[in-house]
Structures are given as structure tokens and as C-alpha cells.
Chains A and B, each alone.
Chain A
Amino acid sequence: MPMLRGFLILVLFFLFGEALRLVFLLPVSGGVLGMIGMTLTLMVKGSVSDSLAAASQGLISVLVLLIMPGVVGVFFTADQFSGQWLAVAVALLVGTFLSVLTTLLLMKCLVQGRNRSQTND
């Protein structure tokens, strides 16, 4: 029961996000708008109820299950893109390697720079 109450809150925020998206024609999904709304609401409220925490933990732990049906699709549309697999594979592998490297280096430099300036203060 408590978990369902938490789930209801999540669904309401999602619907709220979807409504915002449709009314203002935003390119961002209702889920993300709901997530932002949820974070802001909690910041104002200052605490998370047990039921909401339970429902969110439950859903986050099965996130993989929820994306599986979409993932399976790639095996059934494979032949549609024959001849381009090399480009796709190289782009994904090398592209992701470079972007991970960029993110880590940037964050590392910025965080260290911040720490240094703090100790100087």
C-alpha cells in the first residue's frame, strides 16, 4: 500500500510533466520535466516520504527491465541497415570513448581547480 501511494505521486508528476510538454510544445519528455518538478518540490518541502522513497527505489532498480523491449528491436531491424554497420560501430565505440574521456578530463580539471582556489581563499 505505501509503495502504491508513492507510485501514485510519481505518476501524477509524470502526467504533470506531460501536460507541460504538450501545452508549451517542449521538446523535452514528460518524464524529465516530472523529474525536475519532483526535485524542485522536494527541495521546497525539505523531506521525502517513506512511500515515495520506496516507490522510487523499486522503479529505479528495474530500470533495465523497462528499456529491454526497446533494446530487442535492434535485432529485428538489423538488415535494414546492412552495409552501414561499420560506420555505426566505429562511431559508437570511438565516439563514446572520446566523449567519456572529455567528460572525465573536464570534470577532473574543473573540480581540482575549484579545490585549489578554495584552499587559497
Chain B
Amino acid sequence: MTERLGSLVEVLSASPTLAIGLTLGAFFAGNWVFARMGRPLWLPPVVLAAVMLSATIAILSLDYARYQDGARWLTVLLGPATVALGIPLYQQMHHIRALWRPILCTLPVAATLAAVYAVVIAWALGATPEVLASLAPKSVTAPIAIGITEQLGGSVPLMMGGLLITGVVATLFVDLLARLLPVKDERILGFALGVNGHAIGTVRAFEISHTAGAFASLGMGLTGVFTALILPLVFRL
């Protein structure tokens, strides 16, 4: 019986449906647990879902590479999804036009520092060059960050982990600092969420408002483009 169950996973994982089913299941389970916990800001559904998904993959003793292969059916959608961010961007263009100067002044500084702070701190604490290369694109949206990390010679899984943590803590810190500073302008909050917290920050910004979401998309897009152009040059030095 156990033998047959073992081979069951083997057979089912030959098609991508298992990976897709597991990911979707974890996504909904994560959202459900999140709602049941009273929507805690420090534990977003993506973390809950990722932990549950990892546990399930481990319990089923499913090969991670195999899972990744099947889940590609979902991850390919990241490309069109990134394009989709252009639509709220266009819809909020009048807000963005009104603030184009502050945005263009802040972006290069903020995007550069987002990478520099992390790399300098990790370097001071003795991280290897591979780890540094994986941390550098931590505020960049996943599809671009994967490209940057590969170019710099970092580890993609470590980078994805860093990306996740950065997204979550950026969301927390934006909420915290918005209250402390205080910043109430949702355009600024959205922009900060997108620049520092990429897709996770953008998801949070869309919860605040459509305008915040558009500014987050803008911040995320600009940070991605800027970092992709600058980091490979800086790392060569």
C-alpha cells in the first residue's frame, strides 16, 4: 500500500497538474488562514502559503526541481502580469504627471540605496560574493531580479527568499514609518511600497487604494529598469 502511494506521487508529478494544484491549494489555504487570523500585517498570505506549500512538498517527498518544472505553467504568467501593471499605470497617469519631478529625483537615489544598504551590511558581516550578488536585487520584481542575479553570479533561490523577506518587511516598515513620520499621502506610500517591496509591496498598495497601487506599479517598474541597468555595471567595478 505504502509502496503504491509512493509511486502515486511519482506518477502524478509527471504532469504539471500536481504542482499547479498544490500551488493553488496553498494559495487559497494561505488566504483562508490569513483571514482567520484577523489579517495580521506581519504575516502576509504569501508567507503562510509558501510555508504550507513547502511543508506539503516535503511531506510528499516530491522532488523540488520537479515541482518547479510543473509550476512553470504558473510562473510563465508573471510576464503578462508585469505587462498588466501598465494599465493601472495609464489610468493613474494624471496623478503621476503631477508628481513626476519628485519621482524622478527620488527613484535613482532610493533604488540605488535599496541595493547598497543591504550589500554593504552583508559585506561588513562577512557574506560571500555569491550571497552579495543574491542580495543586491532584493527590491526588484521577481522576473527582472532573476535575470540580474544570474548575470551577477548569485543564487536564484536565495535571491527569491531575500525578495520575499524584503517584500514583507518593506510593507511593515512603510506602514510603521507612515505613522511615525507621518506620511499620509497615499501616492507617496504607494511609491515607497513599489520601490522597496516590489510585487508584495504592490499587492499591499492595491489594498490601500487604486492610486497607491498605480504608484507602486510605477515605483516597481522604474526600480526594476533602473537596477537592471545599473547593478551589472556597479558589480563589474
A77 at the interface (CB under 8 A from B): yes
Give the A-B pair count, Cβ closer than 8 A.
Answer: 322
Chain B nearest CB from A19 CB (Å) reads 12
Select which of A7, A60, A73, A99 is within 8 A of B139 by beta carbon.
A99
Select which of A38, A69, A92 is within 8 A of B118 by beta carbon.
A92
Given A11-B80, A91-B135, A56 and B87 contact (CB-CB distance below 8 Å): yes
Chain B nearest CB from A11 CB (Å) reads 5
B46 with A92: CB separation less than 8 A: no
B208 at the interface (CB under 8 A from A): no
Q: Which residue of A lies closest to B151 (CB)?
A: A27
A103 with B118: CB separation less than 8 A: no
B36 at the interface (CB under 8 A from A): no
B110 with A99: CB separation less than 8 A: yes
**Chain B 168-179 interface mask (CB, 8 Å, partner A; 1/0):** 011001100110
Q: Which of A28, A38, A62, A67 has the most CB of B within 10 A?
A: A67
A36 with B86: CB separation less than 8 A: yes
A:54-102 near B, CB below 8 Å: 55-57, 59-60, 62-77, 80-81, 84, 86-102
A64 with B85: CB separation less than 8 A: no
Spell out B's residues near A (CB within 8 Å).
19, 23-24, 26-27, 45-46, 49-51, 53-54, 57-58, 64, 67-68, 71-72, 74-75, 77-91, 93, 99, 101-103, 105-106, 109-110, 113-114, 117-119, 121-122, 125-128, 131, 135, 138-139, 141-144, 146-148, 151, 155-158, 160-166, 169-170, 173-174, 177-178, 181, 183, 185, 187-189, 191-192, 195-196, 199-200, 202-203, 206, 213, 217, 221, 224-225, 228-229, 232
Spell out A's residues near B (CB within 8 Å).
7, 10-11, 13-14, 17-18, 27-32, 34-39, 42-43, 48, 52-53, 55-57, 59-60, 62-77, 80-81, 84, 86-108, 110-111, 114
